[in-house]
Structure 1
Amino acid sequence: MKAAEGPQPASSEKVAEAATLEELNAKIAEIDAGEDEQIPAGRLTTVGFNFYAEADQLAPLPLEEFECGITLTPKVDRSSRITVRQCHYSVPARFIGQNVRVLLRTNELLVFERWEVVARHPRLARRGDFRDELDHYLEILLAKPGAMAGSTPLVTARQNGSFTEVHEAFWAAARAAHSDAAGTRALIEVLLLHRRMPASAVEQGMAAAIRAGAITADVVAVEARRAAAAAPHHLRTRTTRASRRPGPNPAGWSRSRPAGPSCPRTTGRCRPSPTTTSS
């Protein structure tokens, strides 16, 4: 994916290369911010200042939400994947052989069971690309632990940082204390804890189990509950049905008006905002 940087001649055009849509959007936002500082020929003020001055002339955005994505109903194959626009995404293994409802947006893909979001992926752009989530395959791996070490979901989890060094240490300790199969099952049982407990608490539970030399999922669960109870209230997070649903503005669309002359000219338009901050 490439985006041209500024109004330059075709012969010397610079392009921004990106591996994902999120990275491309971030680079486009940087380009837009740079263009906001430019002063057009014959004007005394910047592009960003001019947009702020003319923003009140724009029609107001509608108050009601409007979903820009499209709904599809692909069938889950035996690899627990769906194929959408020639790209492949994993879904929980319990949906194998079923059709699922998918909402395809410009930057993400959501999989629903009734009104509950059961899988969320960044949208892929290259034909034949795939994205697997380790959590979607845990029930299968629990029955076949030997497939864990060479699985593509594990590779993805290591790359995105969800499978941390603490997980690696617990897995190594579990295989040393038990057999390879039993140790891997213990790790998978710990990974299942992530569905109902905060990730930080589970990681603290694994670290405590390693220090105590009691490498079992039950010990990790006890220590994780203790760590979660000791955490500050505002840091306690738990996966619930409501937390997996898309909120009233789930795609991160920015609807605010410019707050000052330094605001980019794209502020106030219906486009994904690169980041969301709260005070």
Structure 2
Amino acid sequence: MATKARQKPLCAVRIRSGQDESDLLHHDALRLAALPKPSPLAKKYQGHRRTVREALTSALPPAPRKKPPPRSSRLDPFKPVIDQILWTDLDAPRKQRHTVRRIFKRLVAEREMEGISYSAVANYVVCRKPQIMAEAGRGSPPEVPIDQVHQPGVEAEVNFGDVWINLAGTMA
């Protein structure tokens, strides 16, 4: 069983001594003619012809995409203030705690917050409030089902009441 010799990528072909550019271009043209056409492969893999052509001519896999650094939020300067409000609400009676609407209005009035939507503040408060409760040790423990195992004959259920039965022809 004959195996095909592995072809070098176009970028790896170097000009040797005594070889001019026309020979190199001719060699590259022959190599490109031997490659499969990119259009059917592009349809098959749902990509662009240019991307398929680059993949066919390159011996190296594509470099992994870099993740962009996390963007800073407009809400970032106000997060410590919101956290402080939520921490002070832990000691306040239930009816005197801040609602999301009240926190938003305080930030606008006291801290001159502009350009930040109510929903951004609400999303942060909804996520952060349980975390603060857990940090303070006041969060409700997660509800975990407890399996009950009943061994046969160990426990019995008894109901009291008046019952009449017919026992050997007599009512008892």
Q: TM-score, normalised by structure 2?
A: 0.22
More strand by share: 1
Which one has more relative contact order, counting CA pairs under 8 Å at least 6 apart? 1
More helix by share: 2
Q: TM-score, normalised by structure 1?
A: 0.15
Structure ID, larger Rg: 2
